[in-house]
Amino acid sequence: MDFDQLTLTQAAAALRAGTVKSTALTTEALARAKANADLNAFVTLDEAGALKAAAAFDTTDDKNKPLGGVPLVIKDNIEVAGLPCSAGTPALRDYVPEADAPVVAKLRAAGAIIIGKTSMHELAFGISGYNTAFKTGAEFGVRNAYDRTLIAGGSSSGTGAAIGARIVAGGLGTDTGGSVRVPAALNGCASLRPTIGRYPQEGIAPISHTRDTAGPDGRDHGRRRTARSRDLGSRGGPTCRPEAGADRHREDDVDQSRCRHRNRLPGRHHADEGAGRHGR
């Protein structure tokens, strides 16, 4: 199997056909993540948890799950149970959520294997991915998958770089003003910014309640659809139209789970006012 050319669709199809095991794919993804430590793509690499989940999938061999056994990555402002969720800031370095964000829960239900949390521009408030708080390589900031002297873009920097570097075939980021699209463009992969309200936002560190959304990244547009709305928890299903007035309702639809990150920050950082002036 050519891991450098592997897409989400091909990986899922190979797993369903039994021509490859999830443990093999996950082991390869983890090895590539370690070999590319100079990318600074990861804040947390969950080797033990990922291999346990992959082995469990290989044992049950559930071929009905659309992402069954496929390794993915999650941006570090999206809550994954048991893993730190820093949102790219030292102030939240030790915050470990007890539950998955709904979009993560949907990916797990679809059979995805989460290998780790990806680095990002601090608090998702920028488009360069230059973050001095977290690094695994010699240089600061998430580096470009094709040229380590260049930036990866942001703020979903690590997700874009990990896909561009062929560590994984897909992953999840967030977008307020370009945050899944900019890293995808700079790292040679594809992305989708969904309509506001299409995916649930609970368990994701907020910037702007009228602009924030989770969004998938993949090797290309055709394959990215494997991780789209049926797996991310679209409120109305994969063919739905967004709720009428969804943008207006977002500010009234914020529950306590969305406020956990904000309440943990010293001085309770408020960023909505700058949403129109900064790309994320």
Distance in angstroms (rounded) separating the CA atoms of residues 36 and 209: 35
- Provide the residue ranges of all domains of the chain, joining segments of one domain with +: 3-240
Residue 23 has what pLDDT? Answer: 98
Name residues whose C-beta falls within 8 Å of residue 252's C-beta, 6 or more positions apart in sequence: none
Distance in angstroms (rounded) separating the CA atoms of residues 225 and 151: 27
Q: Tell me the whole-structure pTM to 2 decimals.
A: 0.82
In the 8-state DSSP scheme, what is residue 83? S
Query: Catalytic site residue 106?
Result: no
Query: Catalytic site residue 179?
Result: yes
What does the mean pLDDT of the chain come to?
85
In the 8-state DSSP scheme, what is residue 153? -
Please give the share of the chain, as a percent, with pLDDT higher than 70. 79
Pairing mode, if any, of strands 42-45 and 113-118? antiparallel
Of 91, 85, 101, the closest CA to residue 214 belongs to 101
For the stretch 129-158, pLDDT in tens is 999 999 999 999 999 999 999 999 999 999
Taking only Cα atoms into account, the Rg of the chain, rounded to an integer number of angstroms, comes to 17
Candidate list 22, 65, 75, 229, residue with the active-site label: 75
Assigned token pair, 270:
């408020």
For the stretch 215-229, pLDDT in tens is 999 988 754 455 554
For the stretch 78-127, pLDDT in tens is 999 999 999 999 999 999 999 999 999 999 999 999 999 999 999 999 99
Query: Catalytic site residue 117?
Result: no
Assigned token pair, 262:
């904000």
Q: Which CATH number fits domain 3-240: 1.10.10.10, 3.90.1300.10, 3.40.190.10, 1.10.3720.10?
A: 3.90.1300.10
Candidate list 86, 156, 179, 234, residue with the active-site label: 179
Candidate list 86, 155, 156, 157, residue with the active-site label: 155
* Phi, psi angle pair for 21, to nearest 5°: -100, 150
Of 266, 184, 263, the closest CA to residue 217 belongs to 184
Please report which helix (H) or strand (E) contains residue 225, including its range: none
Distance in angstroms (rounded) separating the CA atoms of residues 219 and 226: 11
- Count Cβ atoms below 10 Å from residue 191 Cβ, excluding itself: 26
Distance in angstroms (rounded) separating the CA atoms of residues 136 and 229: 33
For the stretch 239-277, pLDDT in tens is 222 333 444 333 333 344 444 554 554 444 333 333 333
For residue 35, CA distances in Å to 54, 153, 167, 245, 267 come to 20, 21, 9, 46, 39
